[in-house]
Amino acid sequence: MSQYAKLDELIRKTLALGPWQFVELRSGELWAECVRLESVTGRDDFRILDGRLQALRRAGKIRFTGARVGEGWALTGDQQ
């Protein structure tokens, strides 16, 4: 199991609620996991979150729709 499995699950659970902008994802349990991983990996917390978003996007699990209100990171159509 990957050290990022819990974070990936939190991201997917959060995005199931609708599109989110990056700054909005920096809160709650999801962000707490990023901070925890920062102490484990030595990478900056925001870079951990960005890296996991990009990894999930490349895997076809999530997509980025835009930076306007009501847009942002969201699950792909087949993940909803």
CA 27 to chain centre: 11
Which domains does the chain carry? 5-79 (1.10.10)
pTM: 0.91
User: How many CA atoms within 13 Å lie on the side-chain side of 12?
Assistant: 18
pLDDT digits (tens, 9 = 90+) for 36-46: 999 999 999 99
pLDDT digits (tens, 9 = 90+) for 2-61: 899 999 999 999 999 999 999 999 999 999 999 999 999 999 999 999 999 999 999 999
